[in-house]
Each structure stands twice: as C-alpha cells, then as structure tokens.
Amino acid sequence: MRDIRVAAAQFENRNGDKQHNLAAMRRLVEKAVGLGAEAVSFHEGCIPAYTFLRNLLRDELVALAEPVPGGPSTQRLIEMAAEFDVALLAGLLERGADDRLFNCHVCVTGEGLVAKHRKLHAFISPHLSSGDDYTVFDLKGVTCGILTCFDNNLGENVRITTLLGAEVIFMPHVTCCLPSTMPGRGLVDPELWHNRERDPVPLMQEFMGPKGRGWLMRWLPARAWENGIYAVFSNPVGMDDDQVRNGNAMILDPHGEIIAECNTLGDDVVVALCTPEKIEQSSGRRYLRARRPELYAELTRETRERPVIDSGWGVVREE
C-alpha cells in the first residue's frame, strides 16, 4: 500500500432522477478533488436512489436498470472521473446478461471500469438477485474491496475481503433511522428535516443518537479494528423516499478510529489520508496472523436451512 487520500460523500438523492443525482455527485466530486481526494465513494444505489425500490414492480425496476459497464450511468461516471482525474465509486441497478437484476456498486477511473460488486445479501426487492463473489481490486497501487450495506453486518464478509488482500474497504450504505427492536432506535420525523435550518438541534440529536450514529458505533469501528483495514462508509442524508437518513459519511482507520466524518445537515464530503503504517501496527493484523483455520470448519458446514436475510427494514427474505 501507498499513501492515498480518499473521500466519503453524502447527499440527498431523488427517487429515479438519475440526472439530478449525478449532478449532485459531480458537485461533491469537484469539492473532494479540491481537498486532494484520489477516490470518492458514494452511497448504495445513489444514481437511481435506493429505498423507493422496495415499492416497484419488476418492470419498473427493469426500466431503471442498466448493463455494466455499457450503460449510460457507468459511462457518465467514467467521463466524470476523466474530467477530474479521480476514481469514483457509485451504486446503480445492473441488468445482467441473463436479465437478472443486481444491486451493483462500481469503481471507475477515466480509463474505464475497474471493478463492480454485486451486493451479496440483496433484500430490498424480491426481484433483485444476490451476488456470489467477493470484490478485491487494485486502485492506484492500493488493494481495495467493496462490500455493500448488509454485506458488512456479517463479519465473515469483511474478514474474507481482508484475507483476499484488501487494505481499504469501501462500504456504501443506505442505513440508520430505521425501525428496530433495539432501545432508542426508529424512524426520524420528516418535519425535523424540513425545519432543519430554523431549528437544527432536534435533528442533530436524532442523527447523533441511537437512531443514527449511535447505532453505527456499535459495529462499524469493530469491522475496521478487527481486520486492520481502512473503512470508507458512505450514506445518504435527508429525505430518502418517505424516510430520513442521517448521512454521517466517515472514514475509519485500522485502529477503528474515525479520522474524517460529515456532521453537516446536508450534502457534504470529507477526505482523509490513508497510510500503510497503521495497517501493520493494527491489532487486527496481529489477529489475522494468529488465526487457526483448522478449527473453523463449522463456519463452512452446510446446513439444511436456507439463508434468511432479516434486514430490519420489515423485509425478511429467504435465499
């Protein structure tokens, strides 16, 4: 690994309005590059938006989906990357060669597609298929991985991506401010968002409390710390369909420490320097060297039960 400056972005997306969302992304890319970023990461499904997909019929999803890399959105990202000489990571709906639909996150440079990740645990719609492969790739001399939202809630996925060589893992999300059995969690009143300029404090309290950042702090730093990787967390902010999202885009170092974070009530981007020495110094890398794989057969034992994805969104899906 070498030193690299990466950016994590947050913005308020519009349902199905790809041109609006790409324009918002361009503004943040320009800001990030001005701060020295070499790679800019956006949230899950950011180009068409994400949460509203839960209410769409298959034909409506097909109309939003595109081939990757041949579709117009990926080509627009490549053009934007060339314009600013930066790597971009962004989410869209992919239509595969077999007409299956995937929640896809791509990494591009001005030279073209570098990598694409199909979410391993798709759940927002029964019409979306889950991916079957981990995604690890070289980006400007740094070994990177992508895991999308729920993928990161299973520690095995982050561990395997690290074992495949990842030093920086991009973690695009659409999360927080959702119903939950956990004390203090739940939805945020949209009126707080609409009134944020007149009275920002109640909204900030919600965003920084157990509904938002407080929940992230239960697990996100652990993923970085236990594996000794940089974690780049991106998330929308503001109205996301009929729900509110808290943003809190952030970058964590291999010690699980937050080294850059968005705390603004609107579109924003933060940039942090990722350096190789922290990886080797981290506890996570010591733990990797202490592993005893001969003891772990139970992790891969086949079961009669099919995997069940209980997203916490009120959606339960059997794979």
DSSP secondary structure, 9-45, as one string: EE----TT-HHHHHHHHHHHHHHHHHTT-SEEE--TT
- Helices 155-163 and 220-227: crossing angle in degrees, nearest 10, is 30
Whether the ω angle into residue 179 lies within 30 degrees of 0, i.e. cis, is no
Residue whose C-alpha is closest to residue 240's, from 43, 9, 19, 76: 43
Domain boundaries, position 10: 4-318
- Identify whether the C-beta of residue 261 lies closer than 8 Å to the C-beta of residue 271: no
* H-helix segments, 145-282: 155-163, 190-194, 200-208, 213-216, 220-227, 276-281
> How many domains does the chain divide into?
1
pLDDT(35) > 90: yes
At residue 6, the pLDDT reads 98
Sequence-ordered list of residues with C-beta below 8 angstroms from that of 202, at least 6 positions apart, any chain: 192
Grade residue 315 by pLDDT with cuts at 50, 70 and 90: low
- Tokens 């070498």 sit at which residue? 2
pLDDT(49) > 90: yes
Average the pLDDT over 138-152 and give the result: 97
Residue whose C-alpha is closest to residue 36's, from 255, 269, 258: 269
| Rounded Cα gap, residues 114 and 110, in angstroms | 10
Vertex 65: Cα angle to 82 and 270 (nearest 5): 45
Between 229 and 307, residue with greater pLDDT: 229
For 105-108, which contacts have Cβ atoms below 8 Å and span 24 or more sequence positions? Answer: 105/44, 105/146, 105/148, 105/170, 105/172, 106/68, 106/69, 106/74, 106/77, 107/39, 107/137, 107/139, 107/144, 107/146, 107/170, 108/69, 108/74, 108/77, 108/78, 108/81
- Output the pTM of the full model: 0.96
What CATH number corresponds to the domain at position 43?
A: 3.60.110.10
At residue 314, the pLDDT reads 66
Q: Which residues is 105 bridged to in the sheet?
A: 91, 117
68-101 confidence digits (pLDDT tens) = 999 999 999 999 999 999 999 999 999 998 999 9
At residue 292, the pLDDT reads 96
At residue 309, the pLDDT reads 82
pLDDT(312) > 80: no
At residue 301, the pLDDT reads 87
pLDDT(197) > 90: yes
At residue 303, the pLDDT reads 79
Grade residue 160 by pLDDT with cuts at 50, 70 and 90: very high
